[in-house]
Chain A
Amino acid sequence: MTEARMLSGRRKKQFWGSLHLVLILAAIFVMLIPIIWIAMAAFKTHVDVYQLKLQFTPTLENFKIVFDAPYFLGHKLMNSTIVAFVTVLFAIPIATCAAYSFSRFRLRGETMMLVMILATQFVPAVVIVLPFFVMFRDLGILDTRLGLILVNLAIVMPFAIWMIKGFIDGIPIDTEEAALVDGSTRIQVIRNIVLPMAAPGLVTAGIFCFIIAWNEFLFALILTSKDAVTLPIGLALFKAEEGDLWNLLAAAGIIIMVPMFVLALIIQKHFVQGMTMGAVR
């Protein structure tokens, strides 16, 4: 009797083991299918894309078309790159100074400042964008990269400060103290000890902020119209009279997502930490 029970126990285990595997594979499949579908459409011809074909002759024609007139996706690509890059270039040094101070000193109103920085992340973007729209219109910087960079700082800064603070918290304080005792100034300590040790963290935070700025949609939709249009807004170009031009949309989609996939994989370990700003480890 016991033997039979053991056997059925083993069967049961096998059954759960294979069900487990099947469920995981199904989840992977569901996660990837929209991406694969876009990726396939990007290499299909105009005719193939309107049929549910799995076999087709791949073509690079779509990528050529989106960069040509009248779409000029290259211009949007440049805008996206410049805006995201300059945003990061401003955000990271400013955030690093603040993060060091928050990490190493006790400040008056420290908790209040940190909560405020955290809270700005949760303010709906539509609330922030209305006054900026009025202001930019009066200043004449609507539809400029400069304007977009300014508002992008609003969404990037809280992530940058919290993320970098996390990295600096993880650096042991002993070397710094030893250097201070030996007569180094605080600025020297920051430059010669903290920055080199925090460098990988700064790069990670920079990449994370770059992805956020690159994917930003609402600000760019409202504050740009022609000259400073970024890639996600550029997607709207491919809505034609006769319907959406799916093969071109997909090609533009590839150009938007593939660089971000690469960047996200580089910093994969820190992605979760960045998003939750220290609420979970």
Chain B
Amino acid sequence: MRDRHLKYVLVLPAILVVFATAVWPLFESLRLSFYFGKLSRPNFPQDFIGLENYTWAFLEEPAFWNSVWVTASYTFYTVVLTTLCALGLALLLAPGGKLRRGVQMLLIIPFAMSPALIGVSFRFMFNPEFGLFDAFFGFVFPPLADISWLSDPTLAFWVCIMADVWGWIPFLTLVLIGGLASIPRDTIEAAQVDGASGWRVLKDVTLPQLAPVLAVVIILKSIFSLKTFDQVYMLTNGGPGTATQTLSHYVYFNGLKYSNIGYSAAVAWLMVIPMIFLTYAYAKFVFRKREA
């Protein structure tokens, strides 16, 4: 076969798989979102209702707005905290040395851990009777000894954030270490010779050059934060009440627990919209690298 045809034949199976497993369900979900569909009845979906699922979410469902708010603040805090912690750790490790190789190896480990298991382990550590963190905080600040972390709406939210930040710091740190390593040493050394303080070197030389990598990291982390499900499901299951109910969890709950597929497809599609912008931004970075 000629290359002219072969090159398309080679791509075809992959494109078909991607179409069948991602593109088709994406648009099928969009179609379902215009229907009223109760899974419990046969001949699903039943009635075309236009935009009613969407208006229902916007106008009649405080729980929807609650999960929008939870997801937005969750994304904000996890992105900011994870990026800052990872940047700090990456700067600590940047000079290299014996420790760095070891630490880099250790950093791989939490990242290979299933997010569901991260949720379980944090629930374990914040158990009010025999949790490790609980005992630690109780020891440092005795008034905190009797707090049951996961039954308080605000504290449960922050425990979820801690678990998320813990799980993502290693990956972001590894990416940022790579970014720092690719900054030419001489620009930093030149600034140091000129007598710039450590802080000035960081602010005026290192960070501007790290900006593209930081942007990639922030976009990627935002995408994964917006999708959060596994950890929250295992850690608080959205509770107490709906205090930690992210959008993914809300969709899961409505679709599978109340078998309201049409409605949950509509909410799921509302989640796709911010993803489109983030993906566009991400793709720009990927292809800028390719052309360079």
Structural contact, B216 and A276, CB atoms closer than 8 A: yes
A30 to B166, CA, bound (A): 8
Structural contact, A127 and B25, CB atoms closer than 8 A: yes
A193 within 8 A of B: no
A34 within 8 A of B: yes
Contacts A51-B130, A127-B25 given; indicate if A257 touches B170 (C-beta within 8 A). no
Complex contacts, B18 vs chain A, CB 8 Å: 116-117, 120, 154, 157-158
Structural contact, B130 and A124, CB atoms closer than 8 A: no
- Name the contact of A253 in the complex, choosing from B17, B117, B252 (C-beta under 8 A): B117
Contacts A24-B99, A253-B117 given; indicate if A128 touches B108 (C-beta within 8 A). no
A137 to B259, CA, bound (A): 13
Structural contact, B15 and A127, CB atoms closer than 8 A: no
Within 8 A of A (CB), among B209-231: 213, 216-217, 220, 223, 226-227, 229-230
A33 within 8 A of B: yes
- How far does the Cβ of B120 sit from chain A's closest Cβ, in whole Å? 6
Within 8 A of B (CB), among A119-149: 119-120, 122-134, 137
Structural contact, B286 and A232, CB atoms closer than 8 A: no
The proximity string for A residues 194-217 relative to B, scoring 1 for CB distances below 8 Å and 0 otherwise, is: 000000000000000001001101
A151 to B21, CA, bound (A): 6
Complex contacts, A222 vs chain B, CB 8 Å: 252, 256
Within 8 A of B (CB), among A36-57: 37-38, 41, 49-52
Contacts A119-B283, A232-B114 given; indicate if A124 touches B226 (C-beta within 8 A). yes
B69 within 8 A of A: no
Q: Which residue of B lies closest to A27 (CB)?
A: B89
A260 to B110, CA, bound (A): 10
Q: Which residue of B lies closest to A90 (CB)?
A: B17
Complex contacts, B124 vs chain A, CB 8 Å: 37-38, 41, 244, 246, 249-250
Within 8 A of A (CB), among B125-179: 125, 127, 129-130, 132, 135, 166, 169-171, 174-175, 178-179
Complex contacts, B269 vs chain A, CB 8 Å: 127
Q: Which residue of A lies closest to B216 (CB)?
A: A279
Structural contact, A97 and B10, CB atoms closer than 8 A: yes
- Measured as residues with beta carbon below 8 angstroms from the partner, the interface class of chain A is 35 or more
Structural contact, A131 and B24, CB atoms closer than 8 A: yes
A102 to B12, CA, bound (A): 11
Q: Which residue of A lies closest to B112 (CB)?
A: A264
- Name the contact of A261 in the complex, choosing from B103, B109, B166, B230 (C-beta under 8 A): B109
B: number of interface residues (CB 8 Å):
96
In the complex, the number of residue pairs spanning A and B with C-beta atoms less than 8 Å apart equals 278
- Name the contact of A249 in the complex, choosing from B99, B120, B171, B179 (C-beta under 8 A): B120
Question: A59-67, A69-77, A105-113: which lies at the B interface?
Answer: A105-113
A126 to B275, CA, bound (A): 13
The proximity string for B residues 34-58 relative to A, scoring 1 for CB distances below 8 Å and 0 otherwise, is: 0000010000100000000000000
A28 within 8 A of B: yes
A153 within 8 A of B: yes
A127 to B89, CA, bound (A): 35
Q: Which residue of A lies closest to B114 (CB)?
A: A215
Complex contacts, B11 vs chain A, CB 8 Å: 97-98, 101-102, 107, 113
Q: Is the interface of A mostly helix, strand, loop or mixed?
A: helix
B113 within 8 A of A: yes
Structural contact, A28 and B106, CB atoms closer than 8 A: yes
Structural contact, B14 and A94, CB atoms closer than 8 A: yes
Q: Which residue of A lies closest to B198 (CB)?
A: A16
Structural contact, B29 and A127, CB atoms closer than 8 A: yes
- How far does the Cβ of A109 sit from chain B's closest Cβ, in whole Å? 10
B7 within 8 A of A: yes
A11 to B224, CA, bound (A): 44
Q: Which residue of A lies closest to B131 (CB)?
A: A52
Contacts A31-B110, A122-B278, A272-B171 given; indicate if A37 touches B22 (C-beta within 8 A). no
Sampled A-B contacts (8; CB under 8 Å): A30-B166, A95-B14, A126-B268, A132-B25, A134-B32, A232-B230, A264-B111, A275-B171
- Which residues of B are interface residues toward A (Cβ below 8 A)? 1, 3, 6-8, 10-11, 13-15, 17-18, 21-26, 28-29, 32, 39, 44, 89, 92-93, 99, 103-118, 120-125, 127, 129-130, 132, 135, 166, 169-171, 174-175, 178-179, 182, 213, 216-217, 220, 223, 226-227, 229-230, 233-234, 248, 251-252, 255-256, 261, 264-265, 268-269, 271-272, 275, 278-279, 282-283, 285-287, 289-290
Given A101-B11, A104-B7, A115-B283, 11 new contacts (CB under 8 A): A38-B124, A124-B227, A126-B271, A134-B32, A215-B112, A218-B252, A221-B233, A257-B117, A265-B109, A280-B175, A280-B216
